[in-house]
Amino acid sequence: MDGLMVLILALVMIPAFLMVMLTPYITRKTESFGVSIPEALYDDHRLKKMRRAYLVRTGILAIPIFLMITFLIVGLLGEYNEQFIGVLFTVFIFIYIVGSFLIYFSFHRKMKQMKKDENWKANRKQQVVIDTAFHQKKKIHSNGWLVIPALLIGVTLIITFFQYDRIPERIPMQFSFSGEVTKWADKSLKSVLLLPAMQFFLLVLFGLVNTVIGRSKQQINAENPERSAEQNRLFRRRFSAFMMVSATLMVMLFGLIQLSFIYSLDNTMIGYGTIGLSGIIIIGAIILSLKTGQGGSRIKVNVEDKDGNMIDRDDDRYWKLGQIYVNRNDPAMFLEKRFGVGWTVNVAHPLVWILFLGLIAISVGLPLWLGT
């Protein structure tokens, strides 16, 4: 692996580490380390200190992980195959995920105890705010925008069928970072249709995610409902647009690989293109999260704040470890994360498990069915 490839991997890892470190700053101001709080307490000096401490500790944890990954990639490339290096890469990332969660959990416990000791709910009326007109507003971009990547899939299929005779008898299915083929498949109608089938699967998946963004549980801050509703609408609009762009980029990436079977394209450049486009999506997601915040909490809107004793209804009991939502009485399947940016699921809803199992079955069964 050359220096440029290592640099590309570093550019992807560093923003990912920063995203973890800055998570407490982009979470809703009504939640702190997985615990619901009155928004007025967000700027409390003790909570500020906890956020800074989390940033520092996860940052300190990231430094040795990053250095070890970089040195391993550079130092072991000549002695071990890239599959082995990939396993080590995964192991160190897993160590960081576990380590950062343990750091989070220590602050989660402190927040729960602080909330209990000081009884923040006292003298504050709890309320759930529902905007009956919320789902009539333009919260997401239409799935009709997916017609663009759908047309790209159509072009890929047309070229594949008309140029089928130019496809070699053995098709490269996996490349190393240096551009060498590490896995082959015999030419057949099924094998050449694998990537277009994956394109279509991704198209459906992105459309499903966009629909989830629009229909996920409404969460409006009872302290400032008008401001919160507008922020949440813009939050969904931005991430919906990101889904449309990401779907197009991913379809383009798979289409480029498919065309490499037919035309003489440099394998190394395909490897760079794969990591480059993936990096654009990852870095774009991080920038979007930092500028938007969970639920749109970092978006400035021209709505005057209200100053009262109304707070959101406390539902901490449904959030296991502050991150896993379990509520059999809630009909919602999807809702915003408690810690971080994005959406999560109500694991007590049976349809969630049916959906997950279906997606897993398709993603695993599709390559098997197509004989790769």
Q: Which two tokens stand for residue 35?
A: 């615990």
Predicted pLDDT at 75: 59
Question: What span, in angstroms and rounded, lies between the C-alpha atoms of 160 and 145?
Answer: 24
Cβ–Cβ < 8 Å for 159, 171: no
Quote the mean pLDDT of the chain: 83
Predicted pLDDT at 74: 64
SS3 293: coil
Domain ranges of the chain: 3-369
Give me the count of residues in the chain: 372
Q: Give the dihedral of Cα atoms 169, 173, 174, 178; nearest 10 deg.
A: 40
Predicted pLDDT at 150: 95
Residue 148: other Cβ atoms inside 10 A: 14
SS3 170: strand
Cβ–Cβ < 8 Å for 345, 352: yes
Q: Which two tokens stand for residue 271?
A: 């490897």
SS3 159: helix
Question: What span, in angstroms and rounded, lies between the C-alpha atoms of 300 and 81?
Answer: 50
The set of residues, in sequence order, having a beta carbon less than 8 Å from that of 71 and lying 6+ positions away, is none
Question: What span, in angstroms and rounded, lies between the C-alpha atoms of 206 and 244?
Answer: 7
pLDDT at 112 over 90: yes
| Cα 51 to Cα 111, 311, 319, 337, distances in angstroms | 11, 22, 20, 18
H/E run at residue 181: strand 181-186
Q: Tokens 């990852």 map to which residue? A: 282
Nearest one of 23, 371, 367, 27 to 198, comparing CA atoms: 367
Predicted pLDDT at 308: 55
pLDDT at 5 over 70: no
Predicted pLDDT at 6: 58
Say what the pTM is: 0.83
Highest-confidence segment of 15-19, 155-159, 160-164, 258-262: 155-159
Predicted pLDDT at 190: 80
Q: Is 305 left (phi over 0), alpha (psi -120 to 50) or beta?
A: beta
Render pLDDT for 329-356 as a digit per residue (tens, 0 to 9). 989 999 999 998 999 999 999 999 998 8
Question: What span, in angstroms and rounded, lies between the C-alpha atoms of 75 and 152?
Answer: 40
Q: Tokens 């500790």 map to which residue? A: 57
Q: What is the DSSP annotation of 202-228?
A: HHHHHHHHHHHHHHSPP-B-SSSHHHH
